[in-house]
Amino acid sequence: MGRASQQKKQRQAQKRDRPQLIRKVREQRDLLHVLGETFDAGVTVVGFPLATAIRVLVHDTVSSHSLLGQLDELKAMPFLDTSLPINPQNLLPHAGLVVMRMTMGSGSDWVPRKEVPQPPPGAEPREVPFSSWWTTDLTKDGSGVLWSRRRMVLTIANKEGGAHIDPTQPIDIRAIEEENSMGWTHHDPIVGDKPMSKGPMMPSLRQIGYELEVGLTNYFGSELAP
């Protein structure tokens, strides 16, 4: 066999077996953990790579295959849902994965729901199938625009800087992240009326990463041990 043939053979791909894929799941789970801790320390920009890591684990397309899909576990694994569902009778904006934190003299911001010691009725942690976890709408802005986990993750990963930045920005993401389409204003005798300066997208992604990290650890158990 000539040198060129040997090099071509070396470049040929080989299907990953389960131990290899499990190792990749462990790496991505650990990445979710590290990025999550960094977010909690105040570096919220890691919401961008968080979105990409979530996409790698669960999102399938014609040309790309999710890690859990390659393991044939996407439909079998239960997913942790910590959201507060949208009440169809409530016409106000709704942020299902985050809560508003108000600080006197500073203003208000959004924080992941995991920061709340006691979840309100309806937001108790429960396990749901992937399709429900991924596609259910759980955030609604003041214009009635709906966001599922899928839409949040793919918008940030594919368009806003997770893995790519589009030359044009979707109006809906600009509205919710930069123009306060959630509509909330902080009323404070010290700073006066102060609209929220940032939207709920980054802390929502932190919450999604948290749910996925816990779900992976619970489902795969000792398989993810180093």
Closest CA to 224 of 28, 37, 76: 28
How far is CA 177 from its chain centroid? 15
Residue 107 falls within a domain, yes or no?
A: yes
Q: If DSSP codes are grouped into helix, strand and coil, which group holds residue 35?
A: helix
Residue 170 falls within a domain, yes or no?
A: yes
- Over residues 152-167, mean pLDDT: 89
Residue 112 in contact with residue 212, Cβ under 8 Å?
A: no
pLDDT at 8 exceeding the cut of 80: no
pLDDT value of residue 144: 95
Domain tally for the chain? 1
Residue 187 falls within a domain, yes or no?
A: yes
To which H or E segment does residue 103 belong? strand 98-103
Residue 102 falls within a domain, yes or no?
A: yes
Residue-wise pLDDT for 40-79, tens only, equals 999 999 999 999 999 999 999 988 899 999 999 999 999 9
CA atoms of 199 and 177, how far apart (whole Å): 4
pLDDT at 162 exceeding the cut of 80: no
CA atoms of 122 and 84, how far apart (whole Å): 6
Q: Which domain holds residue 58?
A: 16-224
Q: How confident is the model at residue 165 (pLDDT cuts 50, 70, 90)?
A: confident
Residue 25 falls within a domain, yes or no?
A: yes
Residue 11 falls within a domain, yes or no?
A: no
Residue 91 falls within a domain, yes or no?
A: yes
For 94, the token pair is: 């709704």
Model's pTM, two decimal places?
Answer: 0.91
